[in-house]
Amino acid sequence: MSIATIGAFAIGEFPEAVAVMLFYQVGELLQDYAVDKSKASIKSLLNIRPDYANVKRNNEIIKVNPEEVNIEETIIIKPGERIPLDGIILNGKSMIDTSALTGESVPRSVKVQDEVLSGCINQNGLLEVKVTKKFKESTVSKMLELVQNASDKKAKTENFITKFAKIYTPVVVLIAVILAIIPTIIFGNFTQWLYRALSFLVVSCPCALVISIPLGFFAGIGRSAKAGVLIKGGNYLEALSKTNTIVFDKTGTLTQGVFEVQSINAFNISEEELLKLVAHAESYSNHPIANSIKKAYAKEINNSIISNIQELAGLGIEATIQEKDVLVGNEKLMLQKNVNYVKSKEVGTILYVAINKEFAGTILISDKIKENTKTALNSLKQHYIAKTVMLTGDKKEIAEDVAKKLEIDEVYSELLPDEKVKKVEELLKSKSKNQNKNKNKTLAFVGDGINDSPALAVSDVGIAMGALGSDAAIEAADIVIMTDDLSKIETAIKISKKTMRIVKRNIVFSIVVKIAILILTALGISNMWQAVFADVGVLVLVVLGTGPIARF
């Protein structure tokens, strides 16, 4: 543009020279506005950073920087204030606005012993919270770090355009020089050919091409963040748009990860009485199964009626409850005690119960499938995904039952963490072998636990369920879902596909228009005024074309 402006002055085309500078600057202003607008949704996340914390020290409440608060200290969060640090509620109840983290508009109710995350807003109650993480390790700090670093990881398309621009600029300048010199030698009239060469330079300015790509990725990452999905870079956004296979961890991802009593089958005794006896027998245990029994019973345990409790390793528990000999355990316990029991056909953890050596029934305990899981998976398979796979360390029959209910294509059970990684690597190799069939397609792994971190790291796209997910899983993942809602994966894929569609459209449009005007300019059919308007016009159109991503 500088060469074109100086050249126009040199040959006396002063209006054109001014027009080049004026409209180029207008284009730059539009470009800067578009980038700032596109980055605004990302920058707005900086507003969730808390400015202070009300900490309780020496019976006083003092206002300090959140970074100065230690773990185990108590902070006070007043109505309307932003929660500064992650913690557990010691006192109070309230409704909190989690939209900044999760994208969910409906406030969440919290009470004593509930966990609260930094970045959320306390709406109406006074909360007393025990801090569980330092500020640098808090949810809001990690979220800000992820989003701020997202632009550093460029997609292949962005890297291509950066390299393209470095080669393109000197090439078009060289062509312009040739256009000015060679025809002059052949046909004469240096001023005419220099004018065409200068117009050629104006048209060839790659503003629209270079700005449309990062602008599109900024918009896509920002829109995802608003929806509660943190994408760590444009390269992961691009990879997500090509995903055709998703591998899911089971516990905590597809299921709630919490054992619950699903059914009680009593023989010659009421269900209430059976549950009461089992709850009292399990009263001294902290095992997840025991806790689920006590939770289902939901009444106070009367310790005075319990005696002679014995924990039988690998079998179960024997106890005397209200002068009755109660056995609670697995089939092996029934066989060892010579109880004539009825084998259960239900899938899950089965507790067999005998009273005075007589079979009294069974209690089924299992992990519950999340409420919206099947709907989310069906929608994914219907619109975007060719194959779903489930990996779990759980028993084969339980895994196959869950897979059947959710209509998952492949299931691999009883896997250790390192075996999960090997299985993901096998699936990746299998995908590579079928590259002609699934060209450039990617595999995503979705998990939430510490044991999922290696699998998240080796997959093409690692997706962590961030609301209840471990810090290790969030660190290893490329994409973080801030809620436990699997439908967010479909939302993220929709945004990624729309982003890539608009980016590619802008690239094709910019190149086609540029080539057409360049040819017309070289032939002398268009002049510098048209060249200027073509350059700025294309830029405006690609900027406007990127808008739908942010409004998705």
Catalytic residue annotation: 249
Cα distances (angstroms) measured from residue 430 to each of 41, 242, 363, 446, 461: 39, 16, 42, 19, 16
Q: What is the token pair recorded at 278?
A: 């089992």
Q: 3-class DSSP state for residue 62? A: strand
**Hey, which residues does 497 pair with through a beta bridge?**
none
**Hey, which residues does 264 pair with through a beta bridge?**
363
Calpha distance 302→283 (Å, rounded): 9
Calpha distance 54→225 (Å, rounded): 28
**Contact between residue 165 and residue 511 where contact means Cβ atoms under 8 Å apart:** no
**Contact between residue 379 and residue 443 where contact means Cβ atoms under 8 Å apart:** no
Nearest-10 Cα torsion for 454, 460, 466, 469: -20
Cα distances (angstroms) measured from residue 539 to each of 41, 382, 429: 22, 37, 42
For β-strands 60-64 and 74-77, DSSP reports them as unpaired
Cα distances (angstroms) measured from residue 323 to each of 27, 294, 320: 89, 20, 6
Sign of torsion over alpha carbons 380, 381, 385, 391: positive
Calpha distance 74→96 (Å, rounded): 18
**Contact between residue 485 and residue 371 where contact means Cβ atoms under 8 Å apart:** no
**Contact between residue 26 and residue 536 where contact means Cβ atoms under 8 Å apart:** yes
Q: How would you label 227-261 residue by residue, b for 16+ Cβ within 10 Å and e otherwise?
A: bbbbbbbbbbbbbbbbbebbbbbbbbbbbbbebeb
3-state secondary structure 131-151: ECCCHHHCHHHHHHHHHHCHH
**Contact between residue 79 and residue 122 where contact means Cβ atoms under 8 Å apart:** yes
Residues 6+ apart with CB under 8 A from 402: 250, 254, 255, 369, 390, 392, 408, 411
Cα distances (angstroms) measured from residue 369 to each of 378, 405, 472: 14, 9, 24
Q: What is the token pair recorded at 414?
A: 């009883």
Residues 6+ apart with CB under 8 A from 403: 390, 411
Calpha distance 346→421 (Å, rounded): 31
Calpha distance 178→180 (Å, rounded): 5
Determine the distance from the C-alpha atom of residue 530 to the mean position of all C-alpha atoms in its chain, rounded to a whole number.
46
